[in-house]
Amino acid sequence: MKTFHCVCGNTLYFENSMCLKCGRELGFIVEERFVGPIEPASESSWRSLDNGKLYRKCYNNTKYQVCNWLVPIDDENQYCVSCRLNHIIPNLTEERNLNLWYRIETAKRRLIYTLKGLGLPLLGRSQNNINGLAFQFMENESPVDEFDSNLSEHHHVMTGHTAGMITINIVEAEHSSREEIREKMNERYRTLIGHFRHESGHYYWQLLVSSDSQRLSDFRRLFGDERQNYNKALSHYYNKGPRYDWPDDCISAYASSHPWEDWAETWAHYLHMIDTLETAEDYGFVQVQSPQTSDTVTAPHSLRDLLLVWERLALGLNSLNRSLGLTDAYPFSITEPVAQKLQFIHTLIQDTVSSN
């Protein structure tokens, strides 16, 4: 992720909707991939001070202030390209849900930013009504207690993916609850953006891998045969724990539960790496971008080059966190089998982008 600049010189972040120095309103222009100041042009339109073009604010901005993306004035959709993917939003009669939703949308926009930056296809339900990408943000029906064993599956919203529909349990946006779940599940890392990246992996597996026999056989060679019973594998994982040797060839314990989960976990790590490298480069901490590229950090690089930079950066990040008394920012290690899985994803993305 890059940082941006206001006309007053102030540094702007991806999430900002107002400049804290000069008070100008801000918006994110999707096609140009930047946040910048805007000024009112008419009752319902805004002019970008960067490119002079006219936009409307996303409806989820004017109505709820949970989005800072702009919609080009000639686009009839009242929602920005991120918000128009929403199928179900949280129940806003519950006051606390508005804040949770804000966090959810912020993480989702970061995902969309990276996917678009990589040049991956992003088809919503309006373009593909069977497997198009969509999101639903739901809460447990009777949230007596997140760990209440009386909660039947019917009442418990499972974060997951089915045929393009990504479901996020909004409890994941509540820091204390998510941390409680993380500890209970014995995980090293659990974040909202991590959920979005992971679930998007399932979507892209279905879109890019499942229907291509060559890719499918390469996938099975690296990740295993996904035709093994998924529910059985998951319940084995939850009841018996991960296999003891998972660190040899998996990025996380959960990745060892089933080839689909291994894929989604590895995909999420690829996106963690891409976004963090872009941020680090923007701050001048690393150099990964070759002069001929304009935007994405992946295009001209071999994965091995990226990994070399990444491993050093991740060590530095962890050391910085330790200096501040915090836990490691990236508590993972990338073994050779994991690097090969990342290479598969890297190549798949490059092939997909170059064939589009």
List residues near Zn ion by CB under 5 A.
6, 8, 10, 19, 21-22, 24, 58, 60, 67, 69, 80, 83, 261, 264
**C-beta of 28: minimal distance to Zn ion in Å?**
9
Distance between CA atoms of residues 52 and 47, nearest Å: 6
**C-beta of 149: minimal distance to Zn ion in Å?**
23
* Residue with Cβ nearer Zn ion (26 or 288): 26
Distances (CA, A) of 201 to 48, 86, 111, 308: 34, 18, 11, 23
Distance between CA atoms of residues 259 and 15, nearest Å: 34
* Residue with Cβ nearer Zn ion (262 or 306): 262
* Residue with Cβ nearer Zn ion (70 or 277): 70
Find where tokens 């209970």 sit: 184
* Residue with Cβ nearer Zn ion (59 or 285): 59
* Residue with Cβ nearer Zn ion (22 or 315): 22
**C-beta of 318: minimal distance to Zn ion in Å?**
25
Query: Would you say the C-alpha torsion 88, 274, 266, 242 has a positive or negative sign?
Result: negative
* Residue with Cβ nearer Zn ion (138 or 299): 138
Side chain identity at residue 95, one-letter code: E
**C-beta of 339: minimal distance to Zn ion in Å?**
21
Helix (H) and strand (E) counts in the chain = 10, 11
**C-beta of 161: minimal distance to Zn ion in Å?**
7
Q: Are 196 and 168 in contact (CB under 8 A)?
A: yes
Distance between CA atoms of residues 54 and 339, nearest Å: 45
**C-beta of 105: minimal distance to Zn ion in Å?**
7
**C-beta of 132: minimal distance to Zn ion in Å?**
18
Distances (CA, A) of 17 to 3, 61, 130: 13, 9, 34
* Residue with Cβ nearer Zn ion (68 or 97): 68
**C-beta of 302: minimal distance to Zn ion in Å?**
28
**C-beta of 174: minimal distance to Zn ion in Å?**
21
Structure tokens at 249: 């060839």
Residue 291: φ, ψ to 5°: -60, -30
* Residue with Cβ nearer Zn ion (174 or 261): 261
Structure tokens at 283: 């701050």
Q: Are 344 and 218 in contact (CB under 8 A)?
A: yes
* Residue with Cβ nearer Zn ion (202 or 346): 202
> For 265-268, which contacts have Cβ atoms below 8 Å and span 24 or more sequence positions?
265/198, 265/201, 266/201, 266/223, 266/338, 266/341, 266/342, 266/345, 267/197, 267/198, 267/200, 267/201, 267/204, 267/205, 267/345, 268/194, 268/197, 268/198, 268/200, 268/201
Distance between CA atoms of residues 308 and 139, nearest Å: 41
